[in-house]
Amino acid sequence: MIGQEAVAEGICEQDTIPLLLERLAAAKALDGALVTIDAIACNCKVAKTVVDAGADYLIAVKANQPGLFAEIERFFDDPLSPPPDRFADTDKGHGRVEERRVAVSTHVDWLAGQRGFPGEYRLPRGRGDRHGRGRDLREGNATRTAASTSPRAP
């Protein structure tokens, strides 16, 4: 972690995050970094601040952006969409098995205008499933979607 900022009373996180990023950028602390941010900051202004500072971003896309989230989900679920690159990994230990699958699409030209993201970005979507001792561990099963400029990220 290279930075965090307390949110002042009466101010929301969406106003504080760009200020933190600008302060880190001015100190050259973002050069070459991968900035990961939860869906609260899923917007073009934040992504542009990161790219302009010479960093890559991995920003979660969740249901707080219902239109964007639904469009990306439809894209991945549509059999006519260009096939994404796929990766899989399995870990075993402590009485459980965790399987992770990631699909990454670089076909993002359909996501343009204000819903698009700056930089040469891709859309990773991952799913992790946990199983243990003959049962599903449902609390660990989740699908996550993001936008990222990082070649290091699925």
Phi and psi (nearest 5°) for 124? -90, 140
pTM: 0.82
11-58 residue pLDDT tens: 778 788 888 898 899 999 999 999 998 888 888 888 999 999 999 999
| Residue 57 near residue 45 (C-beta atoms within 8 A) | no
pLDDT at 130: 80
| Residue 21 near residue 5 (C-beta atoms within 8 A) | no
What percent of the chain clears pLDDT 90, i.e. is strictly above it? 42
Separation between Cα atoms, residue 131 and residue 140, nearest integer Å: 9
